[in-house]
Amino acid sequence: MRWRCPMSLLKEVILQMFFALTPFVLFNIYYRDRMCNYSRSFILVTSSVCVFLAMTFASSAVEGFIFVFFALIYGGVRIASVVLIESVLYRYYLGGEDTWVAMLMIATAFAISLLIYQRYKASYRKTLYTLLTGALFSLIELGLTYLNFPTHVSHQLAYHVFVIPVQNIVGIWLLMSLFSKCVSDKELFIRHAQNEKIETMSHVAASLAHEVRNPLTAVKGFLRLMQEDAGNIAKAEQYIRISLDEIQRTEAILTEYLALSKPLKERNELINVCEQLYVVREVMLPFANMHNVELELQAYEKPVTIMANPDEFKQVLVNFVKNAIEACAETANGKVVLSLLIEKNNALLIIKDNGIGMDEGQIKRLGTIYFSTKTSGTGLGLTYSYHVIRAFGGSVSVSSKPKVGTKFTITFPYHQPQ
């Protein structure tokens, strides 16, 4: 057995407390911006790393027990069994005169954890079971150490009776309570986001019914006129043309609705914003020419990469550019300028037009489904775009003046190309 001075033991106890905080810290780093909760692979990797660290810098044979219990509660029996095997093998690799005693402690602690497991999952008093588990782990260490090394326990009685129990109980309480808080907060966040989307879709459905009914009523009326005046070919052609326009408008509304209602894809990857801007410019150039609007691209000299879904990002660009072009349609010498900047580790995508502009009240309502500056608009396009941008960790700022123009600044976290 190893003998340690009090200051050395204190440092190692503090270090073990730090290891107990590791899953909490890693969870907040990895899952902070994700619309999902922890996975079993995350629990396996985190528990394994913590076990190796705790046993490498151990002050007693009991180190690492709490992470096996953690793996059992959040990963299940299979994950915990893997962590148990890793613990036993690594303890054997470390060696020492107390190796077999330590391995027996690990196996006994796992058996105790299995007995507590079902009660813990079913109980509302999880803190009580957590503290009880920490106390039982300490009793296992004290009992087996005393049976095999009674002299060692006698010489360091205060350490085995007070220090190790406090370390175990406080450590397992920190580990389980903080991680449980993270998990419950993430579940609440996901549930809130889902409820918010359901509420949004209920508003969208009401708006959609109204928007679709109008063109369908118009088409129905023109079909009746064609039926009543079947011999007038010129009138029939006019009615058909208007009906097709109304059907096309209905199709556009339904497309925007479906884009908003479908879940965002998880296929995020590094994309070159400059390349996307060139593609969107080529796609939207005929639309700009049709409205007599100049579409200018001020390209950035170097590649600018962000983490996003390329298809959804392209759709967002199309929505913003399309709105900017339409805002300039009634303006003499209408112009839309696309530019890109790097500022404070952020990629700034700027879409500027000299169109009709907006007042403060209109700016505040941007991104809501009922608001659009276009007479035939539903606001679905910008609602979808804002939703996607926020999902990518970005933000949108708007500056505008009536009859002067509008400037949209879309900010994304910049990822340095490898």
Closest CA to 105 of 131, 80, 137: 137
Q: How far apart are CA 2 and CA 13, in angstroms?
A: 15
Q: What pLDDT, on the 0 to 100 scale, is given for residue 350?
A: 92
**How many Cβ atoms sit within 10 Å of the Cβ of residue 191?**
10
Q: Can you give 309-342 as a three-state secondary structure string?
A: CHHHHHHHHHHHHHHHHHHCCCCCCEEEEEEEEE
Q: What pLDDT, on the 0 to 100 scale, is given for residue 353?
A: 92
312 Cβ neighbours under 8 A, 6+ residues apart: 264, 265, 388
Find out whether 413 and 345 touch, Cβ atoms under 8 Å. yes
Q: How far apart are CA 393 and CA 263, in angstroms?
A: 16
**How many Cβ atoms sit within 10 Å of the Cβ of residue 99?**
14
The pairing of beta strand 305-308 with beta strand 293-298: unpaired
Q: What pLDDT, on the 0 to 100 scale, is given for residue 372?
A: 53
Closest CA to 277 of 243, 303, 239, 252: 303
Q: At what angle do helices 126-148 and 99-122 cross, to 10 degrees?
A: 160
- Fold exhibited by the domain 267-418: Heat Shock Protein 90 (3.30.565)
Q: What pLDDT, on the 0 to 100 scale, is given for residue 373?
A: 54
Q: What is the pTM of this model?
A: 0.53
Residue 114 CA: distances (Å) to CA of 71, 87, 120, 139, 391 = 11, 16, 10, 17, 40
**How many Cβ atoms sit within 10 Å of the Cβ of residue 182?**
19
Q: Half-sphere exposure (CA, 13 Å, Cβ side) for 407?
A: 9
Alpha-carbon torsion (232, 238, 241, 247), positive or negative: negative
Q: Half-sphere exposure (CA, 13 Å, Cβ side) for 110?
A: 23
Run means of pLDDT, 10 residues per run, the chain, 418 residues: 60 81 88 78 91 79 77 90 90 80 84 87 84 84 76 70 80 88 84 67 62 73 78 79 78 66 64 86 82 86 80 84 87 89 86 88 69 54 80 87 90 76
**Domain spans, the chain:** 6-191, 267-418
Q: What pLDDT, on the 0 to 100 scale, is given for residue 370?
A: 46
Alpha-carbon torsion (54, 56, 111, 118), positive or negative: positive
Residue 250 CA: distances (Å) to CA of 93, 101, 198 = 70, 75, 22
Q: What pLDDT, on the 0 to 100 scale, is given for residue 257?
A: 64
- CATH class, 6-191 region: mainly alpha
